[in-house]
Structure 1
Amino acid sequence: MNLTEYLDRKRNLLPDYRKHCHVCNRPESVCLCRLIQPFDTRTRFVILMHPKEARKQKCGTGRLCHLVLKNSRLLVGVDFTQDSEVSALIDDPDYTSVLLFPAPQAVNLSQDGYRSLTGRHGKLQIFVVDGTWSLAGKILRLSENLRALPAVSFTPRQPSNFQFKKQPRAECLSTLESIHLLLELGQEQGVEVAGSHIEQFPEIFSRLVEIQLQGADGF
């Protein structure tokens, strides 16, 4: 075997690194951007992502939510106590800030909770911690300003469709599924005006699950 044949054979053993979409951060062959139609909402969503979750490219749904929602922020960190941007968002007088967390004293938004919370400012700002339960727990343990926010929760209407990732409890949903349900509840209670735009969430999620089950998202 000559040198050229040897090098050609070695090249064939190298992994085939695929081009990535710089918007949805996925391989171009399974890019989800064609399904994403950004829209505005009265509710502002602040998605707080643990650095370990931010490094995932296969199944993270927090970034997809941020791409869809014009009125959203995506921040990466662990302890947000001294974070100037988070502090400024909490202090924004145009919004009532709450934390999505199933605490015992949480206001259940499925039970007309939107109306009870938006009376003062008219608009809700929901902080959503994106990550596994252990990563989310660490963020909340360290972030005193987040723990001080009123907690809100919801009652799931159906189990999560996260078929390739086991949820810790039957009532747990992915970030994308949670935000979709929150927008549905807001519309039903007359405080959200997103209309049919929110129906792209299940379409995006179904495609994400399909890609994962087909194994077409490997790196």
Structure 2
Amino acid sequence: MSRYCSQCGKAHKVCICSVITPLHSGVELIILQHPTEEHRPMGTARILSLSLNNSQVLIGEDFRQDETLNTLLSEEGVVHYVLYPSDTSISATDVIAQHQPEQKVRVILLDGTWKKAFKMWQLNTQLHALPALHLPTDLKGNYRIRKAPSDNALSTVEAGYHLLSMLDTSTDFSPLLSVFDHMIEEQIRHMPPGVFERNYRQ
């Protein structure tokens, strides 16, 4: 019998499936996940894909020839964005006024460390044709069991939560953060004594 849950991919003792809340968003998320993130025990992209009925995760680094992604990007009648703080990116808070309510909106997220996300951005030049979005710089991340380069570095689920909350104000996406907090607390609870205090607590 596998030690890992077949749905969330986490060890059974820290499985998050029981606290997942099904959510519907008017905004579709496509998460491009770097292969090194796929089996990380503290990865958060799976929270988005399990919670949101119109999100999906694609695994890889170079998607230039990826049939699934390129078919999605060529779909007519869909407004596409990519969440990436480029030199020409616009604030996600300004996007609402740029499309009609009946238009389908799809956002591409890059799931990886900052260095790997940057490489994915460089490789996947088809994304450069999409309007790039950035989140407010004053947002604070709460990924206290994974060292971050700065206080405003967000996990993938936190970025997804803030993005969806800005683009789709008709839905309460706070259950995403509830699952995230539950995952963190369970990971801390199963750490050997003193590990969290020595390595993560500031």
**What TM-score, normalized by structure 1, do the two folds share?**
0.80
Corresponding residue number in structure 2 for 1:145:
126
Q: Using the TM superposition, give the Cα deviation of residue 19 of structure 1 relative to its aligned residue in structure 2, in angstroms.
A: 2.6
Corresponding residue number in structure 1 for 2:10:
26
Write out per-residue CA displacement over residues 60-93 of structure 1, whole angstroms, 9 at most, x where no aligned residue.
1012211111101210011111111111111112
Q: Which structure 1 residue ranges, 5 or more long, are not aligned?
A: 1-16
Contact 1:103 1:151 in 2 (8 A): yes
Q: Using the TM superposition, give the Cα deviation of residue 98 of structure 1 relative to its aligned residue in structure 2, in angstroms.
A: 0.9
Contact 2:47 2:180 in 1 (8 A): no
Write out per-residue CA displacement over residues 177-198 of structure 1, whole angstroms, 9 at most, x where no aligned residue.
011111211234xxxx3x23x1
**What TM-score, normalized by structure 2, do the two folds share?**
0.87
Q: Secondary structure at the match of 2:42?
A: coil
2:182 to 194, 207, 213: 207
Corresponding residue number in structure 2 for 1:115:
97
Q: Secondary structure at the match of 2:168?
A: helix
Cα distance in 1, alignment partners of residues 24 and 48 from structure 2: 12
Q: Give the count of matched residue pairs.
A: 192
CA RMSD of aligned residues (A): 2.1
2:66 to 71, 74, 83: 83
Q: Using the TM superposition, give the Cα deviation of residue 199 of structure 1 relative to its aligned residue in structure 2, in angstroms.
A: 1.8
The reply to whether residue 60 of structure 1 matches residue 35 of structure 2 is no
Question: What amino acid maps onto 1:62 in structure 2?
Answer: A
Write out per-residue CA displacement over residues 132-163 of structure 1, whole angstroms, 9 at most, x where no aligned residue.
01111121111111222210111155410011
Q: Using the TM superposition, give the Cα deviation of residue 18 of structure 1 relative to its aligned residue in structure 2, in angstroms.
A: 6.8
Q: Using the TM superposition, give the Cα deviation of residue 50 of structure 1 relative to its aligned residue in structure 2, in angstroms.
A: 0.8
Corresponding residue number in structure 1 for 2:83:
100
Question: What amino acid maps onto 1:20 in structure 2?
Answer: Y
Contact 2:26 2:168 in 1 (8 A): no
% identical equivalent positions: 28
Change in CA separation of 1:203 and 1:120 when aligned onto 2, cut-off 3 Å: closer
1:127 to 104, 108, 114: 108
Q: Secondary structure at the match of 1:210?
A: helix
Cα distance in 2, alignment partners of residues 183 and 165 from structure 1: 23
Corresponding residue number in structure 1 for 2:25:
41
Change in CA separation of 1:151 and 1:55 when aligned onto 2, cut-off 3 Å: same
Q: Using the TM superposition, give the Cα deviation of residue 59 of structure 1 relative to its aligned residue in structure 2, in angstroms.
A: 0.8
Contact 1:30 1:216 in 2 (8 A): no
